[in-house]
Structure 1
């Protein structure tokens, strides 16, 4: 019985990682796309809260489409949504995750939120310290209202 449970957990975890498509954004392309995403251009949005019935309000950037590169090196465009997560890898190897629709670029500093539930859990990172940017649909059940 224990083997069956272990195998099921392993298969489920493997499928989760396989099913999530990860895309990259070259840093120069990211800068060009984020020109319009400034603190003065933020929109207040509402999304559903999968944990209870009250909606969540927060400020979102005004980017609707994201230009990315898939695993095979092909350029693609994906729609921005509240479930899109952005993973930044620093030049020292550390990785940080924020929600893409909260990201803005101010004076070569990237700012984004790490949580939908706790306000103030923001991440501020100099763009020069980032070596890689990846985008992934986190699979969370968030939708704009």
Structure 2
């Protein structure tokens, strides 16, 4: 009888799982060329923890050219629920919300949290070996 619940749980996880895409570092750099600190726009999203909202600067990227698991090029529309994972040459992985990412010279800059201000990270592009993005399915929506 416990097997039924176990199988049901696995099936539910398979339905809810997120599709992960990759972006080659050079492609990412060329797509982000206009996403600088100066071009960040004010964004306001719902706060799923309260009835209020969160405000933060967001990049001006509308959509990303990404590679799916079959190696085919496809597009992913930017939204506040898009998550980005960067793998550094030393094997460490860093996670960000994609709409907080921008470039300054050859350095990726991003916020690690929308809830705690000042948790930013800077990573030189030449030290990045892999970039992955996915729609995390979080209930974030732009308010403006």
From the superposition, tell whether residues 73 and 124 of structure 1 become closer, same or farther in structure 2 (CA, over 3 Å). Answer: same
Deviations 1:43-92 (A, max 9, x none): 00100011111110000000011110000011011100000001001111
* Equivalent residue, structure 2, for 1:7: 6
Are residues 1:73 and 2:84 paired?
A: no
- 1:1-145 alignment to 2 at 5 Å? 3=2, 7=6, 11=10, 14-15=13-14, 19-145=17-143
From the superposition, tell whether residues 52 and 38 of structure 1 become closer, same or farther in structure 2 (CA, over 3 Å). Answer: same
**TM-score normalised to structure 1 length:** 0.91
Q: Give ranges in structure 1 of 5+ residues lacking alignment.
A: none
Q: Secondary structure at the match of 1:36?
A: coil
Deviations 1:123-144 (A, max 9, x none): 1111111100000111111000
Q: Secondary structure at the match of 1:140?
A: coil
Q: Give ranges in structure 2 of 5+ residues lacking alignment.
A: none
Q: Secondary structure at the match of 1:7?
A: helix
Q: Secondary structure at the match of 1:35?
A: coil
Aligned length: 143
**TM-score normalised to structure 2 length:** 0.91
